[in-house]
Amino acid sequence: MTVDSSRIVLATINARYYHSAFGLRCLLANMGDLRSETGILEFEGRVDVAEAVRLILARTPEILGLGVYIWNVLKMTELIRLVREATPDIVIAVGGPEVSYSSHPVARLADYTVCGEADTAFAELCAKILTGTAPNRGVIKPPPPDLNTLKPPYYLYSEEDIACRVIYVEASRSCPFHCEYCISALGNETRYFPVETWFTEMRKLLARGVRKFNFVDRTFNIHPSFYLPILDFFHRNYCEGLELHLELAPMLFPDVLKESLSRFPSNALRLEVGVQTLNEEVNLRVGRHQKASKTLDILNFIVNETEAHLHVDLIAGLPGETLESIAFSFDRLVAIGANEIQFGILKRLPGALIDRHTEEWGMSYEKDPPYAIRESRLIDKSMVRRLKRFARYWEIVVNSGRFPRVTQRYISSAQSPFSEFLCLSDWLYSEFERTGGIGLDDLARALFGYLTQEHHSVPEETARLVCADYCADGLRRIPPFFQGLV
């Protein structure tokens, strides 16, 4: 089997197979005269690093550009080490969020670090390296590129990408808000891609069969003059299976946006709304000007007056937040009926301004990715560990949709869904002593045990409910534990 060689290789490790490396495609599209000499290699999170190195070096590159993110930085560190051992003369450049805003050890292993938006800066660096005019090593901090001059990357999505992977698109860059837990707050003024060129690219994707568009815009609903034409475009070009994933800020929700969203049919919109907390004092502390009453009104509107799928984000562990206020926010969101609640744990992302609260609120964080909080003055280490388990179990029990009747009857209807699920989470951990690698049959059995044993006096009808939900999740047989109960 022959392997194409490339003088320049762009590579990264994606979190999952179904993700696609949008950043690398943006770089490749803007390589200019070096485009034909540049190739992409993307790997999934479970890849053996030595095998990734073998595939990279099989291309015999002179320059290796690596995209470094929170989910792959440890493996990228090992990858660079192995590449160096095998090919000491290769030039390595790193970029991405994990190295753009603070000095991570992985950057010290590379020859160059390109900070921020590298669409054209990486191509310029490569040209200098290949002509011998680049400095020996260094950190490059280019100004933001002119979005009017960038080459669109969308043609670089393959047929396999379209069939199997998330298709990312962007119509704007940066964010107008300054939330201190987010590195988007460190960016530049919000800029927009040229409208007509962008629409042309979207028409091409639609013609190629793309139906699910995942917008990477940090805040889609910045201004009506920006988002209304986009929503109108996709409404006019609606076809079966079309789905838009949009991140919206609840602070920016005028009537014209409501009217536009309400026009879309069922399942066409997946709206991700960053709530983070309903504690207004905490919100202000981290630079987020958000009224709880307005946020709840917006969420109620989405649930009751649109056909959208609503995904809301919460962050546990923000400076000054108590367990009681976390529970309050969670319970209010459950009551609204959001389709998904992403219960996240605060992370101290490299360069994020949240670090300024560390001393005052007694906050400490894990040293390794994902840099999650370990404790604060108001939430001790033991409770933080419970909250982390809570977050994982919520994903596999509730957000997965595998046990909807149990969720609705025994969790969502509880006086405090947060307290109820925290008890369930503790039970599951006592059963499994882990939060991952749990088979569905074992999970169903544990739910049965929780509902029928010491925590509830629930009749065996519950077993049938659990089993029916579980079997409806694509299984072709009744799990052995439930045979004879249905």
- In angstroms, rounded to a whole number, what is the distance separating the alpha carbons of residues 57 and 62? 10
Closest CA to 70 of 350, 312, 473, 463: 350
Confidence of residue 472 (pLDDT cuts 50, 70, 90): low
Q: In what order do the strands lie in the sheet with 63-67?
A: 38-44, 8-14, 63-67, 91-95, 112-114, 138-140
- Domain boundaries of the chain, sorted by first residue: 8-140, 166-379, 402-486
- In angstroms, rounded to a whole number, what is the distance separating the alpha carbons of residues 296 and 277? 11
Q: How many CB atoms lie within 10 A of CB 313?
A: 17
Q: To 10 degrees, the CA torsion angle through 401, 406, 408, 411?
A: -110
**Which pLDDT does position 84 carry in this prediction?**
96
As a whole number, mean pLDDT of residues 172-189 equals 88
- In angstroms, rounded to a whole number, what is the distance separating the alpha carbons of residues 276 and 344? 9
For residue range 421-454, list pLDDT tens digits in order: 999 999 999 999 999 999 888 898 888 888 888 6
Closest CA to 24 of 36, 34, 9, 37: 9
Residue 410 confidence (pLDDT) above 90: no
**Which pLDDT does position 273 carry in this prediction?**
98
Place of tokens 């590579």: 11
The model's pTM is: 0.92
Place of tokens 């309400």: 262
Residue 466 confidence (pLDDT) above 90: no
**Which pLDDT does position 409 carry in this prediction?**
84
Confidence of residue 328 (pLDDT cuts 50, 70, 90): very high
**Which pLDDT does position 3 carry in this prediction?**
57
For residue range 83-125, list pLDDT tens digits in order: 999 999 999 999 999 999 887 889 899 999 999 999 999 999 9
Six token digits for residue 208: 């190629």
Residue 167's DSSP bridge partners are 213
Confidence of residue 170 (pLDDT cuts 50, 70, 90): very high
For residue range 30-65, list pLDDT tens digits in order: 999 999 999 999 999 999 999 999 999 999 999 999
Would you tell me the crossing angle of helices 440-452 and 417-432 to the nearest 10 degrees? 120
Strands 112-114 and 138-140: parallel
Closest CA to 37 of 2, 65, 66, 72: 65
**Which pLDDT does position 473 carry in this prediction?**
55
Closest CA to 268 of 221, 310, 218, 307: 307
Confidence of residue 1 (pLDDT cuts 50, 70, 90): very low
CB 129 within 8 A of CB 63: yes
CATH, domain 166-379, list 3.20.190.10, 3.90.550.10, 3.80.30.20, 3.40.228.10: 3.80.30.20
**Which pLDDT does position 2 carry in this prediction?**
41
**Which pLDDT does position 484 carry in this prediction?**
52
Confidence of residue 462 (pLDDT cuts 50, 70, 90): confident
Q: C-alpha angle with apex 176: 116 to 192, nearest 5 degrees?
A: 70
CB 352 within 8 A of CB 179: no
**Which pLDDT does position 4 carry in this prediction?**
75
**Which pLDDT does position 240 carry in this prediction?**
94
**Which pLDDT does position 449 carry in this prediction?**
85
Strands 63-67 and 91-95: parallel
Query: What's the per-residue H, E or C state across the chain?
Result: CCCCCCCEEEEEEECCCCCCCHHHHHHHHCCHHHHHHEEEEEEECCCCHHHHHHHHHCCCCCEEEEECCCCCHHHHHHHHHHHHHHCCCCEEEEECHHHHCCCCHHHHHCCEEECCCCCCHHHHHHHHHHCCCCCCCEEECCCCCCCCCCCCCHHHCCHHHHHHCCEEECCEECCCCCCCCCHHHHCCCCEECCHHHHHHHHHHHHHCCCCEEEECCCCCCCCHHHHHHHHHHHHHCCCCCCEEEEEECCCCCCHHHHHHHHCCCCCCEEEEEEEECCCHHHHHHCCCCCCHHHHHHHHHHHHHHCCCEEEEEEEECCCCCCHHHHHHHHHHHHHHCCCEEEEEECECCCCCHHHHHCCCCCCEECCCCCCEEEECCCCCHHHHHHHHHHHHHHHHHHHCCCCHHHHHHHHHCCCCHHHHHHHHHHHHHHHHCCCCCCCHHHHHHHHHHHHHCCCCCCCCHHHHHHHHHHHCCCCCCCCHHHCCCC
The distance of Cα 450 from the centroid of its chain, to the nearest Å, equals 31
- In angstroms, rounded to a whole number, what is the distance separating the alpha carbons of residues 97 and 117? 10
Strands 191-192 and 212-215: unpaired
Residue 241 confidence (pLDDT) above 90: yes
As a whole number, mean pLDDT of residues 66-72 equals 96
Exposed e or buried b per residue across 273-302, where buried means at least 16 C-beta atoms within 10 angstroms of its C-beta: bbbbbbbeebbebbebebebeebbebbebb
CB 322 within 8 A of CB 379: yes
Instruction: Domain 8-140: give its CATH superfamily.
Output: Cobalamin-binding domain (3.40.50.280)
